[in-house]
Amino acid sequence: MQRTIIGLALVTALALAPAAWSQTPPADPKASALSWQKQANETRAAVVSVADELGKVGDQGNVPAKGMIDDATHWLAEGDKSKALADEKMGKADYQKASLDYNMAWQHYVRAATSGLNAKRMLTGQ
């Protein structure tokens, strides 16, 4: 079971990441920040979509699924904190630091998506 969950987490992370990995980092700090901002926003939208589905299904009294849902909620909140910091830095034209914070937000959103998708699979078989 644990091996399956780890495999699903890896597949999920890899499914969300190709666009980010395939890009050569731009030399322009603003372009980099905008690229990571886009990745973070798109991944967040996917996380929210899964969270909406989980909200309809509920945890069904499944303790491991509830833990994964709680994990997803935690990482979504952490991603939102990092994204807010990045948005603030973008407003100050501190593009290098904004890029780092958007990247961190994206990483948190990938963690949230992984946990959410694993919970969804556990509860619905999908």
14 burial (CB, 10 Å; 0-12 / 13-18 / 19+) is exposed
pLDDT digits (tens, 9 = 90+) for 84-126: 999 999 999 999 999 999 999 999 999 999 999 999 999 988 7
Phi/psi region, residue 60 (left: phi>0; alpha: psi -120 to 50; beta: rest), is: left
Helix ranges restricted to H, 58-94 = 63-91
- Looking at residue 125, what is its pLDDT? 84
Q: Model-level pTM? A: 0.78
- Looking at residue 3, what is its pLDDT? 47
Tell whether the model's pLDDT for residue 73 goes beyond 70.
Answer: yes
Q: How confident is the model at residue 46 (pLDDT cuts 50, 70, 90)?
A: very high
